[in-house]
Chain A
Amino acid sequence: MTATVPVTAALALGDDALVLSHRLGEWAGNAPVLEEEVALANIALDLLGQARVLLSMAGDEDELAYLREERAFRNLQLVEQPNGDFAHTIVRQLYFSTYQQLLYAELAAGDGPFAPLAAKAVKEVAYHRDHAEQWTLRLGDGTQTSHERMRRACGALWKFTGEMFQPVEGLDADWTRLDEQWQDSVQDILGRATLPLPEGPRTGAWSAGAGRQGLHTEPFGRMLAEMQHLHRSHPGATW
């Protein structure tokens, strides 16, 4: 009944969901329109639910979320990137939700320990991806300003996308094929949005990405400080 849980993989997937959930939560009170505020909060809530299940597979969810140091987090560097302008947030969503849906669909089709969660989450993520794609089309093929901001955001986050397809210990997936599918999908949607496919490396020396090994970018420390501050100031507090 209780198959051994690959802790490394549970942390990688769980931390991706937790960190992106927190970033999206930062839009509360700041989104451009009310509907969008609600949409981003709902996506954040889905991700938080997934994070709770995944982190609980690896240990105590609260301890893992609130009491780990930066170097112990295993999330992708992509998800910790600051929200930036709305275009940055949408491009981050597009890159990540496309990856997450492809990966979860593969995990859901298998019989590993993540299959039940993946089968549930993949349907939620389909809505996240649709949301990101529709905004990409609207902003990319929108005004000169929205197009330019989207183009800038696509390029700025491009170097973080290769990391998504580094194999994760304990996850049975065909990473090369996932990467190809991801590139096809992103290329298609950017093309329809009249946006150029960014140039520049996604892997290797001039790309980013060692989040899975615990190396994070500078803004992540500040994000964690804010996320963990209350729990650390009042250990064991409940309401």
Chain B
Amino acid sequence: MVTATALETELLELAGSVPDPELPVLTLQELGVVRAVRLQGPGTVEVDLTPTYTGCPAIEAMSVDIERVLRAHGMHEVTVRTVLSPAWTTDDISPEGRRKLREFGIAPPRVRTASGPVPLTLGPTRAASEAASRTEDASTEPVRCPHCGSADTELLSRFSSTACKALRRCLACREPFDHFKEL
């Protein structure tokens, strides 16, 4: 394993600071899609980028944006490689990224591979029995409305404006909202 040089760390930060083309509130670092930056010679750099979904059309825009940023930083040859393995999961979205999604009006994905304590919060339980009869796994925490915080929300459609989101509605404040689906 080769340790990253100071310049590589700096370039990784630069590449990671590029905003996501579809969710501009998030940076690529917060989304967790920039995997590595390798300096291959003076001014020559290779970037590993992983797609959220295999067919995500934003990956091309991301590559172009990364290239532009790194060229502006003196790199004259930038190659962006698409890597599939290990597969990206929504657990790769940083806590800061989740907070920004919620502020933007998108319910963030629930963390699935809990490795630490799971914080419990109180929420409305009116629809607890209904929720159990729905198709979703009732054992996972509820998807909360990003507007009012209520846990009393229902699924409208499994697919929304992009493949990575589902369309839901809050039964407390009646607002529809997007939910970044767990992957």
Contact = CB atoms under 8 A, between A and B. Distances in A.
Contacts of A46: 53-55, 163
Interface string A115-140: 11101110110010011001000000
Interface size class of A (residues with CB under 8 A): 20 to 34
B84 A116 contact: yes
B53 A119 contact: no
Interface string B78-95: 000000111111000000
Nearest to A35: B157
Contacts of A123: 87, 89, 183
Contacts, number: 71
Contact of B158 (A48, A119, A120, A127): A127
A56 B181 CA distance: 28
A42 interface: yes
A48 B57 CA distance: 10
B51 A38 contact: no
B87 A120 contact: yes
A156 to B, nearest CB: 25
Contacts of A105: none
B56 A38 contact: no
A121 B161 contact: no
B54 A120 contact: yes
Given A35-B156, A35-B167, A38-B157, A121 B54 contact: yes
Interface residues of B, number: 24
B135 interface: yes
Nearest to B83: A116
A160 to B, nearest CB: 25
Contacts of B183: 123-124
Nearest to B161: A38
A117 B163 CA distance: 17
B159 interface: yes
A134 B159 CA distance: 13
B87 A131 contact: no
Interface in B24-54: 51, 53-54
25 contacts: A35-B156, A35-B157, A38-B159, A39-B159, A41-B159, A45-B57, A47-B55, A49-B51, A52-B55, A53-B84, A116-B84, A117-B54, A117-B84, A119-B85, A120-B51, A120-B84, A120-B85, A121-B54, A123-B87, A123-B89, A123-B183, A124-B163, A127-B159, A127-B181, A134-B158
Interface of A: 35-36, 38-39, 41-43, 45-50, 52-53, 115-117, 119-121, 123-124, 127, 130-131, 134
Given A45-B55, A53-B84, A127-B181, 18 more contacts: A35-B156, A35-B167, A36-B157, A41-B159, A45-B53, A45-B57, A45-B163, A46-B53, A49-B51, A49-B55, A52-B54, A116-B87, A117-B54, A120-B88, A121-B54, A123-B89, A124-B53, A124-B183
